[in-house]
Amino acid sequence: MKISKNNQPMHDLPAVVLDLSINGLGIIRSLKQKGIKVYAYDVFSKYKKGKTLHAQCGPCPHPIFEEDKLLDHLIKTGGNLKRKAVLFAGSDDYVFFISKFREQLTEHFLFNMPDHSLIQSVLDKRQTYNLALKHNIPTPKTFFIEHPDQLEDIIADFVFPCILKPVFSADYRKRMNKKAIIIESASQLRTLYPFYAQFGELMIQEFIPGDDHCVYEIATLFNEHMDLLGVFSSQKLQQYPPIFGSGVLVLSKRNEELINLGVSFFKTLNFVGLAHAEYKIDPRDGILKFIEINARTTVSNSLAYASGIDFSYLYYLMATGQNPSKKLNQTEGIKWVHSPRYLLGFLEKRKKGSMNFGKWIKSFAGVKSFASFRFNDPMPFIRGVISDFKYAWKSRR
């Protein structure tokens, strides 16, 4: 990739985004604003909900259940493009797919990611936990249940409440749509474990107290020489569903301790490309405890963009060999909101008496970035509202 005569970046290579959720939508809009041609694909149900005017969109085979078909689809797509496209993954399923078939995909696409063994490790909670222990990263006490007979021994070593979680979260959520289950007592664990175990391998983890404000996130971009090109930290103000959900109100906030921990960990792992990690401050000892890591942008990536750290564009420039300038200083105090789900979370809190309408309205102060709403591209927001409220209604029933 060459730089133009006036020393401005070139945007002549297209981008292909695999994901039409909120995450993928943020990537698409960032690139579109730079004048980059974007093609976006996702499974049919997500394509119908998330298709946008800012990209040429289409459905694609499932990255887990239809691997061969998706590979053929992408090879055909790449072959029809005049030049190699920069390839983005907006979900863990697409990250794993690209990593697994990287040799075939590099013939048609440009992308940077860590070794496949590291990708496998961050998608397997057991291996992720072992990585944290190996590198002395503070993390919640965790046990993995390989056989039901281990349950009683684990119960004897645990203080309740605790958390029951899947080892492979993405695959598990397709079956149960649950990220984690709070277990209040040993008797409840004995009762619920057999039911949830039928949907996938489980782990039991220490429950860190504290509300959503205790959860912090760090996002980074490293080039192939492990030079840090971009870093951004944020604080979750509210999640939906509460405690274990995705952020629906997030604040741009620089946390030096988090940045030092996260950057050091990523460097130790040689985590090339995009990365995102979540930590939670334990109010019992004030220590940031590592929760999880992902090899992609976070759902609220448009908050980083609004705060001066445009990871999607930095990645595009890096992948096309344009040596982007480092973006290491963010604008603080900006809020990002996923308004439909934030409303659903408020309705739950109001029902429990933990939030009133006045407090909810005041929480919008500082909001400058929205997950899906745009005047020039309203349909992803409208379809998202309908989908979220339909799901909430079905869940209640």
The confidence band for 177, taking pLDDT boundaries of 50, 70 and 90, is low
pTM: 0.91
Q: Which residue type is seen at 232?
A: F
Sequence-distant (6+) residues with CB within 8 A of 191 are none
Q: What's the rounded Cα separation, in Å, for the pair 242 and 385? A: 18
Q: H-type helices in the chain, by residue range? A: 22-33, 44-50, 67-80, 92-100, 102-105, 116-123, 125-134, 151-156, 169-176, 186-197, 256-269, 301-306, 311-319, 339-352, 357-362, 379-396
The alpha carbon torsion through 208, 282, 234, 114 (nearest 10 deg) reads -70
pLDDT of residue 20: 97
Report pLDDT digits (tens) over 61-120: 999 999 999 999 999 999 999 899 999 999 999 999 999 999 999 999 999 999 999 999
Of residues 355 and 286, the one with the higher pLDDT is: 286
Report pLDDT digits (tens) over 130-148: 999 999 999 998 888 777 7
Mean pLDDT across 239-244: 79
Q: What's the rounded Cα separation, in Å, for the pair 158 and 189? A: 11
Omega within 30 of 0 (cis) for the link into 14? no
SS3 annotation, 265-307: HHHHHCCCEEEEEEEEEECCCCEEEEEEEECCCCCCHHHHHHC
| Token pair in block for residue 77 | 């797509």
What is the bridge-based pairing of β-strands 273-282 and 56-59?
Answer: unpaired
Report pLDDT digits (tens) over 379-390: 999 999 999 888
